[in-house]
Amino acid sequence: MRIVLISGIVFVHIPFSDQTSPFVGTYGAFDWLRVFLAEALFRVGVPCLSAISGYLLFRGGLENFSYLKTVRTKSKTVLLPFLLWNGLFFLAILVALGVGLGDGYVPNPWQASARELMTQLFAVEDFPVNVPLYFLRDLFVCILLSPLLAWLIRHAPLLTLSVLLVVAVVPEASLYVVLKRSILFSFSLGIYIGLNKIDLKALDRFATLGAVLLLASCAALATVIYMTGPSLPDWVQFLRNTLAIFGALGFWLLSAPLIETSIGQRLSKTGSLSFWIFCGHYPLLIFMWIVWGKAGVSFYPAFFLLSLAVLFPFLAFSNNLCRKIAPRLYAVMTGARAKKPYEKPVSAGAAPSKLATQQR
Domain limits of the chain?
A: 2-359
Assess contact for 340 and 274: CB atoms under 8 A.
Answer: no
CA angle 203, 207, 208 (to 5 degrees): 145
Q: In angstroms, rounded to a whole number, what is the distance separating the alpha carbons of residues 360 and 357?
A: 5
106: helix, coil or strand? strand
How does DSSP classify residue 41?
G
> What is the value of pTM for the model shown?
0.90
42: amino acid identity, one letter: F
Q: What is the DSSP string of 142-189?
A: HHHTHHHHHHHHHH-HHHHHHHHHHHHHSTT---TT-SSTHHHHHHHH
Tens-digit pLDDT profile for the chain (360 aa)? 889 999 999 999 999 999 999 999 999 999 999 999 999 999 999 999 999 999 999 999 898 899 999 999 999 999 999 999 999 999 999 999 988 888 889 999 999 999 999 999 999 999 999 999 999 999 999 999 999 999 999 999 999 999 999 999 998 767 779 999 999 999 999 999 999 999 888 888 899 999 899 999 999 999 999 999 899 999 999 999 999 999 988 888 888 888 889 988 888 888 899 999 999 999 999 999 999 998 888 899 999 999 999 999 999 999 999 999 999 999 999 998 755 444 444 444 444 444 344 444
Element holding 219 (H helix, E strand): helix 207-228
How does DSSP classify residue 302?
H
Nearest partner of 190 among 161, 168, 148, 156, judged by Cα: 161
Q: How many Å is the maximal CA-CA distance in the chain?
A: 62
| pLDDT of 200 | 84
- What are the residues whose beta carbons fall under 8 Å from the beta carbon of 300, sequence distance 6 or more? 16, 20, 26, 27
Q: In angstroms, rounded to a whole number, what is the distance separating the alpha carbons of residues 22 and 15?
A: 11
- What are the residues whose beta carbons fall under 8 Å from the beta carbon of 76, sequence distance 6 or more? 335, 336
Assess contact for 252 and 1: CB atoms under 8 A.
Answer: yes
Assess contact for 273 and 3: CB atoms under 8 A.
Answer: yes
| pLDDT of 342 | 43
* 316 class by beta-carbon count within 10 Å (0-12 exposed, 13-18 middle, 19+ buried): middle
